[in-house]
Amino acid sequence: MDQGMSAEEIAPIAILMDELRSDDVQLRLNAIHSIPTIALALGPDRARDELIPFLQDSMDDEDEVLLALAEELGRGFEEYIGGKEYAHLLLVPLETLSSTEETLVRDKAAESITHIADVLSQAQVEEHYIPLLKRLSSGEWFTSRTTSAALYPAVYEKVSPQIQDDLRKAYAALSSDDTPMVRRAAAKWLGELVKRFSPQHVISDALPIYRRLQSDDQDSVRLLTVEDLIVLAGRMSPADVKEQLLKQISSSITDKSWRVRYMAASHFNELAEAVGSDLVRSELLNQYVALLKDNEAEVRSAASSQIPGFSKQLDKDSIIARIVPCVQALSQDTSQHVRSALAKEITGLAPLLGRESTIEYLLPLFLTLLKDDFPEVRLNIISKLEIVDSVIGIELLSENLLPAIIELAEDKSWRVRQAIIEYIPLLAKQLGKSFFDEQLGNLCMSWLGDTVFSIRESATLNLKKLTDVFGVDWARSSIVPKVMSMGQHPNYLFRMTTVQAITTISPSLDVDIIQTDIIDALLQRATDDIPNIRFNVAKSLEVLGATFGSDPVGKTLVQQRIIPVLEQMRNDQDADVRYFASRALQKALANI
């Protein structure tokens, strides 16, 4: 460092140096996160000449600190060292980070290097980035070679054809590396690189690399080639796909490793879209049916999740002849997870089959799944019934729907009960007001008395949503009287729920209902024996004031009824009550 600099000029680097040498990891982390500030204080010249070399010399540290450094250098740090023309200087410390043992650090360094590549000119890429890429790709340790695979796509289109040839050969070498981790990285990033290849190089270079990786002896490599396959199919003509890829598609779908078959099943819709509907019907349909019948439950579950999307590629007769029999078998599957995955997607077939075929083939399956022993299966089918309603109407489902809802509503797991509460407004819209009042109204009110707070809270939100669905008049006759009657209950939890329900549903009501049906009972609770109820009353009054204070009638209500009570509550013996009452009063006065 220049001995002629003043103490003020030396201070930023000195402080950073001291903090980076500290035994306290958090202090070193803080120092790394303050690098942009320090660079700004130093100015571009000194940041390039002093800060970057200093950081390069500070690589022997905890992984957490190195991760933070890799992240900071990729966050537009070139602006602090003079702009894009000097961005290549950041590659030096990032190259070191790209070879560290910790995977997270290497991945973040690679991410930052690709961000820097975006701002580099072709000359900078060829002079600085490509040599770095070659060093990493041929490094002695597998860690650098693994990282290098991620760096090819970012610059492939920025370099000359001759260098592109070299890059394709170097990437092919990575795909043949002796270390499985390197081959995994090559498989992971091949798709991104292929997107940038010219059509002729897809066939001449990418296809051999893919085939080599797809036949790898490690299933952890083969499973990553499924996404490469999708990219390749999308870049090739249907004729080339049929000639060059059908064998590989079949190999992935019938792979001896269930993990590879699972990956193929999970991405089958994307593959079908890439190859086109003609090949789907002639070649892929049999492959898909095989996945739906796979020996492994995980594969059948993944394939089930693709049913509606894949079926869009088929005609109605093919769906009925090939897909529906598989769906019927899956609805009786021994694995609850398979049945659950099917229940989540099966309703998507209804619009494809139409009303008559849905009634004939799917309705019995819906009703079977609604009676399934596993709650998640029933929840999944109920959550998607809106699709069926649009095709066949809710009437055909309602007889069997109600028992399933009631059973779920009383499930011993509160999470299941909460899930069904969240679906009630959707069902209410489908079932209509009269059916809802007759069959589900009392059930919805019963949730307000549940022993679990989250259920009671969800139940009050449910009442608000139902008010939005059926309207204010319905709420006045069907909800408000029942909610208000709970306000006199000897159990304080019921009284608390009344106050919370008023707070939640009031914004969906009109001021007339508040004035005639709600305010008197609410203000009675302002003197309740339980402090928690009293401060919740204050919070409820705050909401009423905010909601109706600008309305002429509401303004009078706030002035004559709400403000006097809040003024009394400001003197309550409980500190929380005083706090919420004062806050509500302040807002009420501001609103009017």
At 13 the pLDDT is: 61
The pLDDT value recorded for residue 39 is 85
CATH 1.25.10.10 holds for 1-120: yes
Please provide the DSSP assignment of 143-196 as one string: HHHHHHGGGHHHHGGGS-HHHHHHHHHHHHHHHT-SSHHHHHHHHHHHHHHHTT
Question: Can you tell me the mean pLDDT for 524-539?
Answer: 92
| Rg (the chain; Cα; Å) | 33
Position 406 confidence tier, pLDDT thresholds 50, 70, 90: confident
- By C-alpha distance, which of 48, 19, 41 is closest to 31? 19
Number of alpha carbons in the 13 Å side-chain half-sphere of residue 156 = 23
Residue 7: pLDDT above 50?
A: no
Cα atoms in the Cβ-side hemisphere of radius 13 Å centred on 515: 15
What residue ranges do the domains of the chain occupy?
Answer: 1-120
pLDDT over threshold 60, residue 320: yes
Tell me what pLDDT residue 30 has. Answer: 81
Residue 479: pLDDT above 70? yes
Residues 6+ apart with CB under 8 A from 53: none
Query: Highest mean pLDDT: which of 301-315, 356-370, 393-407?
Result: 301-315
Span 326-383, pLDDT tens digits: 999 999 999 999 999 999 999 899 899 888 898 889 888 888 888 888 888 888 887 7
Of 105-109, 127-131, 268-272, 450-454, give the lowest mean pLDDT range. Answer: 450-454
Q: Name the percent of the chain lying above pLDDT 70.
A: 94
- Kindly indicate the confidence band of residue 400, based on its pLDDT and cuts at 50, 70 and 90: low
- When the pLDDT of each residue in the chain is averaged and rounded to a whole number, the result is 87
Element (DSSP H or E) covering residue 277: helix 277-279
Judged by average pLDDT, the poorest of 144-148, 245-249, 426-430 is: 426-430
**Of 222-236, 300-314, 394-408, 531-545, where does mean pLDDT reach its minimum?**
394-408
